[in-house]
Chains A and B, each alone.
Chain A
Amino acid sequence: MARILIIGIGNPLRGDDGLAWHATRLLEQELKGQDVEILTCHQLTPDLAEAASRSELLVLIDACAEGAPGSLAIKPVAPAGSFPGFTHDYNLETLLKTSQSLYGCCPRAVVFTITAESFPYSSELSSCVAAAIPPLVARVRALVSGFHKDSAGRHESAEEGPLSRPGRADLTTVN
């Protein structure tokens, strides 16, 4: 089982909405061999709950419409909300809730967003969003690295005695 699941979401033919596809392409190269599963999709669906339930950390990368174009935001997400009446309204909170309801567990989850400038019919990113991709990739890489270190520490502590506590990777918000 891959312990970290990264999901890039968006439409790669609608300008900045496809930023996650650009980011996950870079992450695929940078995180090769690190027990990370990377998926890209146009929207979240209940089918992803199974993959989510098999992971310990879920990273979602998405475009957002609020804030200054090109700004990066990172926030933790917990399972919540009621199931929507329409699959297009399905979000990360309800995906986590689905994972918990169907499979009895859900991973810790963090969402990374970059504010989009525009959504034209194009596979190109606007310059400010393209410039924000490398910092996003660096932050995800740091999170993954921190997660692996924490896990290794937990593993060692668990071998030492029962007083160990789960670690927590860095989750600051950047604007």
Chain B
Amino acid sequence: MATQRIEINPVSRIEGHGKITIYLNEQGQVQDAHFHVTQLRGFEKLCEGRPFYEMPSLMARICGICPVSHLIASAKACDSILATRIPTAAAKLRSVLNLAQIVQSHALSFFHLSSPDFLLGMDGDPAKRNIFGILEKNPSMARDGIRLRQIGQQIIEWMAGKRIHPAWVVPGGVSEPLTPECRDRILAVLPEAGEIAQRTLDWFKSVIDQFRAEIRTFANFPSLFLGLVSQNGELEHYNGVLRVVDSRGNIVADRIDVLQYQDLIGEAVEPWSYLKSPYYKPRGYPEGIYRVGPLARLNIADRCGTPRADQEWAEFRELERGAILSSFYNHYARLIEILYGIERMEQLLKEPEVLSRNVRAFAGANNLEGIGVAEAPRGTLIHHYKVDENGLITWANLIIASGHNNLAMNRGVLQVAKHFVNGAKLSEGMLNRVEAVVRAFDPCLSCSTHALGQMALHLQLVGPDGSVLDELRRG
């Protein structure tokens, strides 16, 4: 039985609010650990009764970091309700917008949130171990981070009207065609973004060996990996089919239509978190633990599909024989995905079709149910809606990227805590590593806390001496 408890509250340098509890036994050794997500959203309920065509704009409000992902997954679910096939140009433009967001979001994660750990050390002064410390320690890296993120956000603004919560992606396509001037402006900034991405990748590869202990322990365990791939197995963030691979790199499920996601994914809830715990249904709960996101995407794909990213991907996959298991490598994977995103945007924008004036299909509600799936920066994002005959939402379910990783983040927190935390003599650096394993997943908690059915609840009445006087469990 646990006798002591360490609480890290809040977990810093992540998006949203969470805390970590580490339970120690009588010898001061770590016995258990939980990553609690302490905020609750209510989007599934508040959208009930709204017309389905409002959903993309409404759902984009879930997040200020990755609103484009929610726009896109939501619009795809609405396309499915319209029962239309959207114009090819619209699909390509949505794809470019999604990649621009992946570039800016990954840049935020790598430079602003995680680089302080790499540059100033996991044991560095916590007062300096932040983005401002980077400004002082390595101004050129700070400039690169600011510029790369700015380029991603600028592309979103040029295409969609504004950086956060744009309304350009609509059911049936996009609201306005791309102008040649806008395309040229984007193409003009991509080479600079590519140079920054390559420079940062080269630097990160040169220092990654300094983090052997973190690589060994940061959620480094066998699990499944899930995500979208294109029909020919390449990295894919907009369309595609679901693929699942195991820790040896073997394909467990492939070419699964996203409409069949419920055959693959089950959802469980725990009383200590508002974040639900999806699992791979054929293996049950909690054995069906799987991971999504940059590392998972590079693990499931056969290649990236762009020249420079393919070279980097090949080098990356040489790290291990099967799937790459350490979640610390999410940082590395993120940089490869930035490079891929820049190259892929250039490929797409050079196709003449992106300037087509036909970018939107119009229809009413022809299906009473719609499912939209896309790859968000943090992983696979699923929006699932049901409507009545008037097109009003009657039910919604969201499975958000960071939610898929809930089981893995919790197991990772326990793994790191067991390796680094000594209850007899605590140091800030130990606890920072426990936070850093969460940071490696780059969770977006404000995005991901979406309830399934009745919220699980665990209520404890604790006396002044810490003893539990009464307890109530639901769910």
Contacts and interface: CB of A to CB of B under 8 A. Distances in A.
A83 B146 contact: no
Contact of A101 (B127, B139, B150): B139
Given A47-B149, A50-B150, A85-B127, A103 B132 contact: no
Nearest to A48: B146
Contacts of B135: 46, 83, 98, 101-102
B452 interface: no
A94 B136 CA distance: 12
A81 to B, nearest CB: 11
Contacts of A50: 143, 146-147, 150
A103 B143 contact: yes
Contacts of A34: none
Given A101-B139, A102-B135, A85 B130 contact: yes
B131 interface: yes
Interface in A15-70: 46-47, 49-50
Main secondary structure of the interface of B (DSSP, over half): helix
Contacts of A47: 146, 149-150
Nearest to B12: A86
B444 interface: no
B153 to A, nearest CB: 8
A87 B14 CA distance: 12
B229 interface: no
Interface in B86-112: 112
A76 to B, nearest CB: 24
B244 interface: no
B381 interface: no
Contact of A102 (B126, B130, B142): B142
Contacts of B130: 85-87
A84 interface: yes
A87 B443 CA distance: 19
Interface string B144-159: 0011011000000000
A59 B468 CA distance: 56
Contacts of B147: 50
Nearest to A47: B146
B149 A83 contact: no
Contacts of A101: 135-136, 139
A102 B142 CA distance: 8
A12 to B, nearest CB: 12
A135 B99 CA distance: 43
B111 to A, nearest CB: 10
B132 A83 contact: yes
Interface string B109-148: 0001000000000000011001111011001001100110
Nearest to A46: B131
A101 B140 CA distance: 10
B146 A49 contact: yes
A93 B143 CA distance: 19
A103 B147 CA distance: 12
A35 to B, nearest CB: 19
Interface string A67-83: 00000000000000001
A94 B130 CA distance: 15
B131 A87 contact: yes
Nearest to B153: A47
Contacts of A102: 135, 139, 142-143, 146
B144 to A, nearest CB: 10
Contacts of A84: 132
A43 B70 CA distance: 23
A143 to B, nearest CB: 27
Interface in A99-121: 101-103
A23 B133 CA distance: 34
A87 B146 CA distance: 14
B115 to A, nearest CB: 13
Given A85-B132, A101-B135, A46 B142 contact: yes
B95 to A, nearest CB: 25
A83 B149 CA distance: 21
A50 to B, nearest CB: 5
A83 B150 contact: no
Nearest to B126: A85
Contacts of A87: 130-131
Nearest to B139: A102
A46 B149 CA distance: 11
A83 B127 CA distance: 10
Contacts of B146: 46-47, 49-50, 102
Contacts of A98: 135
A113 B6 CA distance: 44
A101 B131 CA distance: 13
A47 B131 CA distance: 11
A101 to B, nearest CB: 6
B188 to A, nearest CB: 16
6 contacts: A46-B132, A50-B147, A50-B150, A84-B132, A85-B130, A101-B139
Interface of B: 112, 126-127, 130-133, 135-136, 139, 142-143, 146-147, 149-150
Q: Which 6 A-B pairs have the closest CB atoms?
A: A83-B132, A85-B127, A102-B139, A47-B146, A102-B143, A50-B146
Given A83-B136, A86-B130, 19 more contacts: A46-B112, A46-B131, A46-B132, A46-B142, A46-B146, A50-B146, A50-B150, A83-B132, A83-B133, A83-B135, A84-B132, A85-B127, A87-B131, A94-B132, A98-B135, A101-B135, A101-B136, A102-B139, A102-B142
